[in-house]
Chains A and B, each alone.
Chain A
């Protein structure tokens, strides 16, 4: 496509800046001088993909190699897809504008299950055969990684290879192996995949494992087709985050994206162990960066971006051991440069006036906490380890600092939940409102507003609740209505997530290989952007399940057997099944588990190693 043609097409679509490229900070290389080209695909819009820290990190890690050129690809919005179809244009990479079929690797980051249809949609737009088995020798190798790769099974048929775990080291190793085999003349698609599975830890090649099933539809066994590949693929971690690669140059979008700010990771993993939380388990062991390293990195990104907001990224920022030192160091230069410091994911029990003052420069008038359950009994079941006194103390700190708007996140459908537990959600919100009027230091002349946001529980792999059934759609909807009837305070605003989307997400999250047929049929029927409510259509999904003869209830609404072979049993993510079972038992007994720093619960992740972790060192 020449520049004149590009102009005519781009000026005919909305937000042409999504497709223009030419950003400051992008990496341009001479394609004839590199040995491997990697198309890094984010299966959602440019605005979302450009904000993703993981993509930035891996783009940087690959481009550090002179003979590898990594480019970015985003899913074109529907109007652009129509224009591409009308003008017979394939999906192209942002930097070079070359079609994906010119690349050696096409990599997808799998961030959320509802993005799966976009993965297939993008392969289709790129004119790459959907099924790995249908790809020819010179088709690109399609590889995947990211949070959803901990259960990659529903996508198995479409991927040649998955990265399990953190990719900073593994991904360049995979491309280097490809280059060395090409150089040595030993490359063939099959030989490469076997060699990668055999020699690179964290590589999962689904076609090298046969799956058999029992009569009841559950899995009988996973069997490697070669003796020299691992029986279980252990996730990779980066052991020392201080010395891990770090992208100091950021590709600067010209158009507004969802997160136009400096983001610096402070730690991976979470000490808490909430029993529904997948990230809390799969990112273990907890590893921290030191405050000096984080401070230098943040300063460098500021120098290279000019962003006026800085946010620290972590699963639970207030649990970071160096938070006081770090915020002091940051404020020393963020204040004179008029940069706002924001801290996401604050836990109510560690939210202090001191921390609040440091971030009070932010203009946001609302503050969010996540009690996750309304009653103490149920918070103990999910191991939230949060007491009402903690929440009330935290909201008082917020009120005294002039905030009047509090958001509270909850889930419905936790194991053992009763209607009494649900009724406690609006009651708790009501007590948060009452706390405002009891506080003599509240902002005068203003009204409090408390928003409760309730999402249906989705059982996720590698959590103590991985075996649990999700509530039926009818039950989820009934509970949503029930909570509404319990809201009696006009200062409490209630909203909830779409139950139908959550049901499909549950199916895909706990799915096995047979779901590839569902996704393929969904792609054939033109499904895309299912994470966007304006495109998601539950009835169409049901029609697809019907057409391929798969019962979604088998995956979403069935309690999986404790001794059953789970689709993700092929993966070892660090935490052991024995630990998950112990936690499940404790949940049903209403017993809590102390956080990692108080006492090691023996989850098993410490055997993966890691510097500055809070795990007890191996003897």
Chain B
């Protein structure tokens, strides 16, 4: 007993291209999806592309696989509005068709906002832009104290866990700008531009840790309803500060 389902255009019914081409897909990863890792995301996309019948180009080796290149991984617990994946297709499909076929197979929390032919490489990304909202019931004037902490040009040396053990890094040099402002509902909004990409990358969690260690805020883990933060990555910038796309 099978029900009727809207028929998508099968990839086999599309016209083969003389040369494979690459599309960039921009999607979000919000709400419940912030709890899934980058590995989970990669696995999910492999299945989404199959069920959306996207005409992926497959590598020609012994173990053929689709060519999928993701942008900068999003840490677990961070939402993203401008996540990117580059896909290589070998049959004709328009950006609009690709967006529609993908969105039919995705929940709203991972909806595709844009599909285009990219003129850049993910290696051109130098900065990520973030919005951090935090609430600490007991903290006095947290926005001013946060601004004071990050306005200082002195190094902010923190311990970073790497494959070769813990090492000290100065996160100061990886912050392009950071501004906190109090909100009407008592929360604080921080807008920050942090190093992102292959040469230098600063997880926004370091900003949180720095505030915990140096300002003593967000340290209450017993009352998560009163002391919390959330992080949203809104986009990327290139070296000259222009918007990456």
Contact = CB atoms under 8 A, between A and B. Distances in A.
A22 B32 contact: yes
B135 interface: yes
Nearest to B222: A86
Contact of B77 (A7, A87, A260): A7
Contacts of B109: 22
A306 interface: yes
A12 B46 CA distance: 28
Q: Which of B41, B50, B107 has the most CB of A within 10 A?
A: B50
B70 interface: no
Contacts of A355: none
Interface stretch (A218-226, A295-303, A489-497): A295-303
B3 interface: yes
B33 A254 contact: yes
B33 A20 contact: yes
A153 to B, nearest CB: 36
| Interface band, chain B | 35 or more
B73 interface: no
Interface stretch (A69-77, A243-251, A315-323, A434-442): A243-251
A332 to B, nearest CB: 13
Contacts of B154: none
Interface string B135-173: 100000000000000000000000000000000000000
Contacts of A252: 44, 47
Contact of B230 (A7, A22, A243, A308): A7
A357 interface: no
A21 B35 CA distance: 9
A243 B52 CA distance: 28
Interface in B197-245: 221-222, 224-225, 227-230
B228 A7 contact: yes
B47 A305 contact: yes
B107 to A, nearest CB: 5
Contacts of B33: 20, 22, 254
Interface string A114-146: 000000000000000000000000000000000
Interface in A504-534: none
B228 A338 contact: no
Contact of A243 (B1, B3, B5): B1
B224 A8 contact: yes
Interface in B62-78: 64, 76-77
The B interface is mostly helix, strand or loop, or mixed, namely mixed
A333 B212 CA distance: 56
A305 B44 CA distance: 10
Contacts of B35: 10-11, 16-17, 19-20
Nearest to A87: B224
A306 B2 contact: no
B193 interface: no
A157 to B, nearest CB: 36
B106 interface: yes
B37 interface: yes
A255 interface: yes
Contact of B37 (A3, A17, A22, A336): A17
A254 B44 contact: yes
B48 interface: yes
Contacts of B34: 7, 20
A255 B13 CA distance: 32
Given A10-B35, A336-B12, A4 B135 contact: yes
Interface in A407-452: none
A1 B166 CA distance: 36
Contacts of A20: 32-36
A10 to B, nearest CB: 5
Given A4-B225, A304-B51, A338-B64, A11 B36 contact: no
A539 interface: no
B32 to A, nearest CB: 3
Interface of A: 1-5, 7-12, 16-17, 19-24, 86-87, 243-246, 248, 252, 254-256, 260, 296-297, 300, 302-308, 336-338
7 contacts: A4-B230, A5-B225, A11-B77, A12-B221, A20-B35, A303-B5, A303-B51
Interface of B: 1-3, 5, 12, 31-37, 40-41, 43-44, 46-52, 58, 64, 76-77, 105-107, 109, 135, 221-222, 224-225, 227-230
Given A11-B77, A17-B40, A245-B1, 13 more contacts: A4-B228, A7-B230, A10-B35, A11-B76, A20-B32, A22-B33, A24-B107, A252-B44, A252-B47, A255-B36, A256-B43, A300-B2, A307-B50
Closest 9 CB pairs of A and B: A22-B32, A306-B50, A306-B47, A8-B224, A306-B51, A20-B35, A16-B35, A11-B77, A4-B228
